[in-house]
A = this chain, B = another copy of it.
Amino acid sequence: MTTIKEIAAGVNASYSAVSRALNGKKGVNPELRKKIIELAKDMNYFPHSSAQALVQKKVGVIGVIIPRTGEFAFQNPYYSHILMGLSQIANAADYQLMLSLGDQQSYTEMYHRRLVDGVVIVANRLDDPLLMEVIHQHIPVVAVPGLAVGSEVEVPSVNSENIVSFKQALKYLLDLGHRRIAFITGKENSLYTTERGEAYRTLFKEHNIPINEDYICESDFSKTDGFRLMGDLLDLAQPPTAVICMNDLVAPGAIQQIYRRGLKIPEQISVIGIGCSENFELYHPPLTAIRTQVQAVGNKAAQILIEQIETGGCREKRVIIDSELIVRQSTTVPPS
């Protein structure tokens, strides 16, 4: 471990000269600076980040908290996309990512211990206790996907667009002639569930179509649950002619159930997916889906958080990243 002192001794200068030289600050003779920089490289010097953090009051780390709701929530490609997105921006701004899986870690504690300069909370529950802690503290934080609009607490958040694109998908199915449209949604208190559920209900009301509550079923976001619930749907006396699946896990689960029953997609049932998967066109058949740009969500979240850390403020309180419906071959007119 070579320190700044050793370099100082090596060139017969003071610590401060070395520090200034290495940090590109003025006040050090050009040729001394050159000698310092060379020696530092020769001695394989790296600044001790803890020492820096102590005096700079900043560690250069942002925490990423992913609460473990089910056993394997982290399995969801949603999370890897978020992480990729965060990583890109954070690294470019010289921040590291500290990952906290599971529920044991309080982000408040991470911040108070100065392990991190700020935190992005990937919380899918609207009433997430971790998220609620934020109210009485003012800690740099950004929530993904954030709280519902009109919620009493105000937290900067980034989210993919849920409502317009979902209505677009529904409308597309209605236009094809579908009326028995199922929606395998997520857990009750998730923002996605709330927003899309409302979109479903308002659109049906706008079109004066009665809502069959049997067609809206709550999953735990998992493939297993997609499989199970699709089974329930197909067991109904009047099974749906189309189904929209909440995310990248529910869709393959549901599709596998459909094939298990020996049904054909889209001839006997139309399927629409939602998610960030790059592989929808590889599905059998290629899957009509709402493409959410989760990586872009991660990008934006990192950007907003870093802005908070460095300026103390935050211009954008609630950012929404576009989603779009891409029609492929898993949807067609309902069977007659």
Contacts of A48 in B (CB 8 A): 54, 113-114
Contacts of A252 in B (CB 8 A): 252, 279, 282
Query: How far does the alpha carbon of A223 sit from the alpha carbon of B248 in the complex, in Å?
Result: 14
Number of interface residues of A (CB under 8 A): 53
Contacts of A83 in B (CB 8 A): 74, 99, 101
Known: A50-B114, A75-B77, A284-B259. A98 touches B101 (CB 8 A): no
B91-A104 in contact (CB<8A): yes
Contacts of A227 in B (CB 8 A): 282
Contacts of A278 in B (CB 8 A): 72, 75, 224
Query: How far does the alpha carbon of A96 sit from the alpha carbon of B104 in the complex, in Å?
Result: 12
Point out the residue from B1, B51, B75 that lies within 8 Å of A54, measured CB to CB.
B51
Q: A residues bordering B, Cβ < 8 Å?
A: 1, 44, 46-51, 53-54, 59, 61, 64, 72, 74-75, 77, 79-80, 83-84, 87-88, 91, 96-102, 104-105, 109-110, 112-115, 223-224, 227, 252-253, 255-256, 259-260, 278-279, 282-284
A-B contact pairs, 6 of them (CB 8 A): A50-B53, A91-B102, A91-B104, A96-B98, A96-B99, A256-B283
* Copies of this chain, tallied across the complex: 2
Contacts of A115 in B (CB 8 A): 49, 61, 96
Query: How far does the alpha carbon of A324 sit from the alpha carbon of B165 in the complex, in Å?
Result: 43
A96-B100 in contact (CB<8A): yes
Known: A46-B109, A50-B54. A98 touches B97 (CB 8 A): yes
Query: How far does the alpha carbon of A53 sit from the alpha carbon of B253 in the complex, in Å?
Result: 47
Q: Which of A91, A115, A227 has the most CB of B within 10 A?
A: A115
Contacts beyond the supplied A46-B114, A64-B99: 19 A-B pairs with Cβ under 8 Å: A1-B112, A46-B112, A49-B114, A50-B59, A74-B80, A74-B83, A75-B80, A84-B101, A91-B104, A96-B99, A96-B100, A97-B98, A97-B100, A97-B101, A98-B98, A224-B278, A227-B282, A253-B279, A253-B282
Contacts of A53 in B (CB 8 A): 50
Question: A259: shortest Cβ distance to chain B, in Å?
Answer: 4
Question: A171: shortest Cβ distance to chain B, in Å?
Answer: 28
